[in-house]
Structure formats: structure tokens, C-alpha cells
Chain A
């Protein structure tokens, strides 16, 4: 038995639509080990959200799991009955969502919501309240006891996100999924939240699956990175490897486009030209081909496999194969 906590194994997910099946995720494989922070990077629409809702099985009704497994502690979540799945949610696996302004129920007090999510605990109401206040204190909300009576709209965005983190960590989960937790916040708050998350991760010793399109944050926080493009993993590996020696043209372009990496003053920020391909009507071959300036005839003919280049570094690009040079 390894110390692997979550294994996504060849997962493919479609959305049934009027235009035909939208291939939202294709053949996704990666894993998260105990106590590790794994980052997932990619543009909007690359399937990050589908991936996390698939892990929690909180998917839209038109979602179809076509193949693959989502193993958590060795058990395939896609096969679990709904009741057992619900036992995991908010207990072993918790999640912090993207938009802190929308994430809490607007008509229930924070205290009420924090009591509700302790529905599995047998503790008395007073104990649960104390626990809620303690968690608010742990994420740096001043005067937590009094603030339990307040409603979400009485908190700022940064505070609401910290409350969301407090709620997610309250059950001391093994896996915390953070879905772009800082995207909706301004830069100074982002740093605070990230630092707080790091501290809490040490304290609670949970693994974090951190989804972001902010490369700086990923580099700061994560041990490993998975780069996604149009519903597929195109590169994954150790965070230092990926940032210093990216092996996929998309990853390289993504790093070039990160404002933190731009050295010279420019009037126009660099972008990756072209658009993400239509997921309902995928072209054959490499999905990045149309936007890639190094595309070769082979890229149109065959899908490049996610190949291991060295220990802990995978990429899906024909450029990394010997034949490319010839």
C-alpha cells in the first residue's frame, strides 16, 4: 500500500448536449499523495471544474462518465452508492469554491451554516458552536464568537473566503479541494489566503488539490503541477521541473504569458493566439496543434501520448520523442 490518497485513472467525462457529446475530460490520469499539494493549471474551459465536480460527484444531470476511475483511498468513487458518497463530502473530502461572494447561503447566519455542516458530529449544540468559533479564530477572523451571529453579506470577500476555508477544514479532511480560491480576490488578499492555507495545511496535515490559472500561486504553493488543456492532461510533474524545463509548447507559452514572468516593458501583454478547439467536434491528432508554432505533420495524424520523460515528469508532445529530430 502506497501513500497515494487520490488517483484519477484514465477518466473520461462527456456532457450530453443538443449538439452532441461534449468531451469535457479525456483520459485524465494523475494522483495526489497524502499531505501533498498538487496544482492544476489551465485556461478557463479546460475542464478543471468538471474534474472537481466529478471527484465529488456533484455533476450536472447531463454528465456521463465514459471511462476510468476516481479512486480515493483505493475505493472507486464513481461506483459508490449516493449515500456513501454523501458521507465523504465535507468529511474526508472538503472543497473551497471559487467565488466567496456566492458560496454561503445568504439568508442563514454563518453560525447556523457552520452548525449545519457538523451534522455528523454527536457533540452538543454549544460544543459545535464553540468548535465553529475556534475554526473562525484559526483562519484569523477577529472576535469569532460574536461574528457567528452575522450573515454572509456582513463580511468582506476576503473574510468570506477565510470562512469558507474554516468550514472546509472543520472536519479535518484528508483531501481539500481548492477551486481557484483566490481568483475573485485582490492581490494582497491572495497572498494572505495562500499563506494561511499553507499554515493550515501544515497544521491539519491534509492533501490539497489546488486549482488555479495563476502560475505564480501554483509555483509558490504546490509540490506538483498538472497542466490541462481542452479537457486533457498535457504535462505533469514536479513544480520546479515544470517551471524550469517545460516539455510541452503549451506549458511554455503559458509561462511566457504569466505577467510575473515578463521582464521587458510591453504595450501588449503576450497571449497564445487561436482558440481552444470545439470539444463537441474534436479534430484528430494533437489538440494543441492549431495554436502550436512547432507543429509537425505527425501532430495532425496521431494523438501524442502522455509519456514519462524522467522520474515524475510527463508530457504529451511529439517534440519529446526521438523521431522528432529526424
Chain B
């Protein structure tokens, strides 16, 4: 298990390096002089030259990359051109908001989705199963930004149950601010996870080892909850791990619609202003988040499934 974990995290690191390098090169390929856009048309040539040198933009691209990685190893993501603050500070200030949003969405949608799916699988082809299926499909079909706008309109503007904008102060207020955005981006996941769990569960319940467990008179609840669910949950864990990446992108919508601080909003704002250091910093953190969550999903699977541990 330990060996597996080490190998898995080694792989994660490799993926991270490749992703960050590609991102670094891509952003350099965007046309237009970044210094001119950042400083505006009225900046003096001296100022432009100073910023160019500061950002090392006068160096060849490979050298820029080396400098970037050198700084990165020291935890330095550069300096924000506009505020002069450390990018690391800015990004880590925004990160918790996005992290809570994603975790909140995943927790409620996975809990409900797994529950619905397992229930539907235990009562296949009944009315309840059909209703669950209809609900799931309509949830999956609802785009996060539409749900965000509608829920904002209904629950914040008309009913005024929840606050419309911002992230709030203090634990309860923050939680209160989290409800609508987490609802908006988690909704389609409820449907998706429910469908997945149902299919996976039905497949496992049809396997011979379940028949064996029943043939030994093991009680049905244990058969379903331990013998079947532990196997049926494996693909769901993987999907949730990968889903963190999709949630990161839906978080952008939610953060814009609800005017929440967060990584997504930070990225959008800094791309429009060509604020390279911030874009790089937030993309790096998002990529890291994604890579870590998929690696974690694999580790959880390896812990649940002994076959995955020993596979090659």
C-alpha cells in the first residue's frame, strides 16, 4: 500500500510538471505584448523596459521557464504587477473560498446521489426507481450557470432565504453564503452520481459472490452495505476525483454569478488584464488541486480494493 501510494504521488508530480509547463508555454503564445497591455498605452518606455526585465520577458522562453521553476521551488509565484503583492499570498487568500465551494458541492451531491442510486438499485423497475431516474436525468441536463442564475433569482431575490452575493464572515454566515452556489454547481452531480451508483450497484448485485453471501445466510443488509456497496462505490470514487476538475470550472460560473471571491473569478479577472503571474499562480494551484484529488481517489480505491493495490 505504501509503495503504491509513493508511486501514485510520483506520477501525480510528473503530471503536474507537464501540465504547468504546457500552460506556461501556452500563455506565452498568446499574441500581443503583455507589458503594453498591463501598463496601458500611456506608459513610458523606461517603465515598460523595467517591467519587461522584472518579468524576465526579454529572456528566451526556455530561460523564462527555468527561472519560473526556480522561483516555484522556493514557493515564489512572482509579484502582482498592479498591487505589488506576492502572488502566492493573493492565490492562497482566494483558494479557501473555492475549496469550500467545491467540497460543499461534492459532499451534498455525493451523499444524496449515492443514497438515491443505492435506493433505486435496491428497488429496480419500481415506481420509485423510475421517479429517481427522471429526477436524475433532469438534474444532469441542467447546466450549472442556468441553475445558478435561477436559484439566485428564486431563493435570493424573491424568497430572500439566502444571501445573493459575497462569501460572508464567520462560520455560519459563510455556510449560509455557500448554500446557493454549492446547490447550483452540485445539482447535476446528484443526478450523475445517482445514475452511476444505480448501474454499478445493479451490476455488482448480479455477481456470483453476492449469491454466495446469500447462500450462507448472511443478512441482506450486510450483503448490500458491505458485500456489494464496497465494490459498487469504486467507480464513483474515481468519478468524484476527476469531477473535482469539472467542479473547478463550474465554480467559475458560480463565483461570477454570486460575486464570490475565489480562484475562478481571480483567473478570469487576471486573464482579461493579462496579469501573467496571477494567471500562472492560480492555474498552478488549480492543476495541483486536480492532480491531488485524482491521486487521492486512486488511493481511496486502492484502500477499498486489494486488487488495485497489487496490480502491476
CB nearest to A88 among chain B residues: B217
Q: For A105, what are the chain B residues with a Cβ–Cβ distance below 8 Å?
A: 209, 212-213, 227, 231
Q: Given the known A-B contacts A107-B305, A153-B306, are A58 and B217 also in contact in the complex, defined by CB atoms under 8 Å?
A: no
Q: What are 20 A-B residue pairs whose CB atoms fall within 8 Å in the complex?
A: A58-B215, A86-B217, A88-B217, A90-B216, A90-B217, A97-B211, A102-B208, A104-B209, A104-B212, A105-B209, A105-B213, A105-B231, A106-B305, A106-B307, A107-B230, A108-B230, A109-B306, A116-B216, A119-B217, A153-B307
Q: For A94, what are the chain B residues with a Cβ–Cβ distance below 8 Å?
A: 215-216
**Given A107-B304, A119-B218, 11 extra CB contacts under 8 A:** A88-B217, A90-B218, A102-B208, A104-B212, A105-B227, A106-B231, A106-B306, A108-B227, A116-B216, A151-B306, A151-B307
Please report the C-alpha to C-alpha distance between residue A175 and residue B307 in the assembled complex, in whole angstroms: 34
Q: For B216, what are the chain A residues with a Cβ–Cβ distance below 8 Å?
A: 89-90, 94, 116-117, 167
Task: Find the residue from B214, B215, B218, B310 having the highest chain A CB count within 10 A.
Answer: B215
B207 sits at the interface (CB 8 A): yes
CB nearest to B233 among chain A residues: A107
> Chain B at the A interface: mostly helix, strand, loop or mixed?
helix
B272 sits at the interface (CB 8 A): no
CB nearest to A171 among chain B residues: B216
B219 sits at the interface (CB 8 A): yes
- What's the nearest-Cβ distance from chain B to residue A149, in Å? 10
CB nearest to A56 among chain B residues: B215
Please report the C-alpha to C-alpha distance between residue A188 and residue B159 in the assembled complex, in whole angstroms: 75
Other-chain contact of B217, A91, A97, A99, A164 (Cβ < 8 Å): A91
Task: Mark A residues whose CB is within 8 Å of B.
Answer: 56, 58, 86-91, 94-95, 97, 99, 102-109, 116-117, 119-120, 151, 153-154, 164, 167
Other-chain contact of B219, A86, A106, A108 (Cβ < 8 Å): A86
CB nearest to A112 among chain B residues: B226
Please report the C-alpha to C-alpha distance between residue A153 and residue B212 in the assembled complex, in whole angstroms: 16
Residues in B291-312 with C-beta less than 8 Å from chain A: 304-307, 310
Q: For A102, what are the chain B residues with a Cβ–Cβ distance below 8 Å?
A: 207-209
- What's the nearest-Cβ distance from chain A to residue B85, in Å? 49
CB nearest to A99 among chain B residues: B208
Q: For A167, what are the chain B residues with a Cβ–Cβ distance below 8 Å?
A: 216
- What's the nearest-Cβ distance from chain B to residue A290, in Å? 33
Tell me how many residues of B have a C-beta within 8 Å of chain A.
22
Q: For B310, what are the chain A residues with a Cβ–Cβ distance below 8 Å?
A: 153-154
Please report the C-alpha to C-alpha distance between residue A201 and residue B215 in the assembled complex, in whole angstroms: 20
CB nearest to A82 among chain B residues: B220
Please report the C-alpha to C-alpha distance between residue A108 and residue B222 in the assembled complex, in whole angstroms: 13
Q: For B207, what are the chain A residues with a Cβ–Cβ distance below 8 Å?
A: 102
- What's the nearest-Cβ distance from chain B to residue A294, in Å? 40
Please report the C-alpha to C-alpha distance between residue A116 and residue B212 in the assembled complex, in whole angstroms: 12
Q: Which 8 A-B pairs have the closest CB atoms?
A: A90-B216, A89-B217, A102-B208, A117-B216, A151-B306, A90-B217, A105-B209, A86-B217
Asked if residues A89 and B214 are in contact (CB atoms below 8 Å), the reply is yes
Asked if residues A103 and B208 are in contact (CB atoms below 8 Å), the reply is yes
Asked if residues B209 and A116 are in contact (CB atoms below 8 Å), the reply is no
- What's the nearest-Cβ distance from chain B to residue A70, in Å? 15
**Interface digits, B185-214 against A, CB 8 Å rule (1 contact, 0 not)?**
000000000000000000000011101111
Please report the C-alpha to C-alpha distance between residue A231 and residue B2 in the assembled complex, in whole angstroms: 54
- What's the nearest-Cβ distance from chain A to residue B287, in Å? 32
Asked if residues A95 and B215 are in contact (CB atoms below 8 Å), the reply is yes
Task: Find the residue from A94, A107, A116 having the highest chain B CB count within 10 A.
Answer: A107
- What's the nearest-Cβ distance from chain B to residue A154, in Å? 8
Residues in B267-290 with C-beta less than 8 Å from chain A: none
CB nearest to B305 among chain A residues: A107
Q: Given the known A-B contacts A88-B217, A151-B307, are A107 and B231 also in contact in the complex, defined by CB atoms under 8 Å?
A: yes
CB nearest to A58 among chain B residues: B214
- What's the nearest-Cβ distance from chain A to residue B23, in Å? 38
Q: For A154, what are the chain B residues with a Cβ–Cβ distance below 8 Å?
A: 310
CB nearest to B306 among chain A residues: A151
Please report the C-alpha to C-alpha distance between residue A95 and residue B207 in the assembled complex, in whole angstroms: 16
Task: Find the residue from A56, A104, A106, A120 having the highest chain B CB count within 10 A.
Answer: A106
Q: Given the known A-B contacts A151-B306, A151-B307, A153-B306, are A117 and B211 also in contact in the complex, defined by CB atoms under 8 Å?
A: no
Asked if residues A117 and B218 are in contact (CB atoms below 8 Å), the reply is yes
Task: Find the residue from B211, B212, B219, B222 having the highest chain A CB count within 10 A.
Answer: B212
CB nearest to A53 among chain B residues: B211
- What's the nearest-Cβ distance from chain A to residue B45, in Å? 67
Asked if residues B307 and A97 are in contact (CB atoms below 8 Å), the reply is no
Asked if residues B209 and A103 are in contact (CB atoms below 8 Å), the reply is yes
Please report the C-alpha to C-alpha distance between residue A109 and residue B211 in the assembled complex, in whole angstroms: 17
Q: For A116, what are the chain B residues with a Cβ–Cβ distance below 8 Å?
A: 213, 216, 218, 222
Q: For B217, what are the chain A residues with a Cβ–Cβ distance below 8 Å?
A: 86-91, 117, 119-120
